[in-house]
């Protein structure tokens, strides 16, 4: 705990510092031994606790605490006083003082009061930590815009098709997002036209995309050979590919034919529909 002492008597400051240090009550981060309290300095030091003398020349302790509170200081405040006036004590509480220590300084009283403040601070911080957890849990997740949502869904499906590592998978994602932005399908526009809108070398882009889809066809066919009821095979085989071509690719993997062919338009249109469903 960081403690700042506002007191015009150097002897009292020395006594308080000795009590704090000898009893492990905190660390003294500053005091007013060299002159009147500098409010800006106190704020900059950000103490957890301020020990302030009530009666001082110039500004009294109540006025100093009030001004610190107005400047945003949240430190706990203990007033040191010889005064027992109920009116002054009420003013001190109103200014933001939480505890009093009577003069002459008594080691046991100082230790007990500071320990009480320390426990209060610890309890308040623990409560704040708990509240912040609940606030964070209750806070709604940031809204994802449609393009980001569709991009994430498309990439998820491509990863299930074993295509995530293919160079053409990014081209496929870009083609789908362009179709979404235009509100069209690949069958309506044509793959070559779409690629020309996205690349200076549209044929190269189309070839990369086609090779990636061929990789997806092989992956789906291999899943079907292992287990005809595989959930990915059932979900994607007929919706992204022509099923006869899937069967042809399955036969090819068994060494019984030339293999299936891909229809890039069908794949893109099917992928858009699946992404909306995910």
pTM across the whole model: 0.50
| Residue range 117-145: mean pLDDT, rounded | 76
User: Which pLDDT band holds residue 20 (cuts at 50, 70, 90)?
Assistant: very high
Chain centroid, CA 78 distance in Å: 37
User: Which pLDDT band holds residue 137 (cuts at 50, 70, 90)?
Assistant: low
Residue ranges covered by each domain of the chain: 2-138, 146-277
Query: pLDDT tens digits for 172-208?
Result: 999 999 998 888 899 999 999 999 999 999 999 999 9
User: Which pLDDT band holds residue 249 (cuts at 50, 70, 90)?
Assistant: very high
Query: pLDDT tens digits for 64-116?
Result: 999 998 999 999 999 888 776 778 778 888 888 878 888 888 899 899 989 98
| Residue range 209-223: mean pLDDT, rounded | 93
253 contacts 224 by C-beta, under 8 angstroms: no
User: Which pLDDT band holds residue 139 (cuts at 50, 70, 90)?
Assistant: low
In this structure, whether the domain defined by 2-138 belongs to CATH 3.40.50.2300 is answered with yes
Query: What sign does the dihedral 117-77-88-14 (CA atoms) show?
Result: positive
| Residue range 17-40: mean pLDDT, rounded | 92
Q: What is the rounded (10 degree) CA torsion for 72, 73, 74, 78?
A: -140
Return mean pLDDT, the chain: 88
Q: What residues does 77 pair with on adjacent strands? A: 50
Of the listed ranges 3-7, 87-91, 167-171, the least confidently predicted one is 87-91
Q: What is the rounded (10 degree) CA torsion for 153, 155, 157, 163?
A: 170
């Amino acid at each position: 705990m960081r403690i700042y002492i506002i007191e015009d008597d150097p002897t009292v400051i020395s006594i308080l510092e000795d009590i704090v240090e000898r009893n492990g009550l905190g660390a003294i981060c500053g005091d007013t031994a060299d002159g009147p309290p500098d409010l800006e300095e106190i704020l900059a030091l950000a103490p957890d606790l301020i020990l302030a003398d009530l009666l001082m020349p110039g500004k009294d302790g109540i006025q100093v605490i009030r001004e610190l509170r107005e400047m945003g200081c949240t430190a706990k405040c203990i007033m040191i006083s010889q005064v027992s006036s109920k009116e002054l004590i009420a003013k001190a509480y109103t200014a933001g003082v939480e505890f009093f220590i009577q003069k002459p300084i008594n080691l046991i009283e100082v230790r007990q009061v500071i320990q009480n403040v320390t426990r209060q601070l610890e309890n308040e911080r623990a409560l704040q930590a708990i509240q912040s957890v609940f606030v964070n849990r209750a806070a709604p997740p940031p809204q994802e815009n449609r393009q980001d949502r569709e991009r994430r869904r498309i990439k998820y499906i491509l990863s299930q098709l074993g295509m995530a590592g293919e160079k053409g998978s990014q081209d496929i994602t870009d083609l789908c997002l362009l179709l979404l932005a235009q509100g069209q399908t690949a069958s309506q526009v044509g793959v070559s036209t779409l690629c020309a809108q996205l690349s200076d070398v549209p044929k190269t882009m189309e070839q990369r995309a086609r090779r990636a889809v061929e990789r997806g066809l092989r992956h789906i066919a291999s899943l079907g050979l292992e287990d005809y009821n595989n959930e990915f095979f059932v979900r994607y085989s007929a919706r992204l590919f022509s099923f006869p071509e899937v069967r042809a690719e399955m036969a090819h993997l068994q060494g019984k034919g030339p293999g299936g062919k891909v229809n890039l338009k069908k794949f893109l249109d099917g992928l858009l529909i699946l992404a909306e469903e995910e």
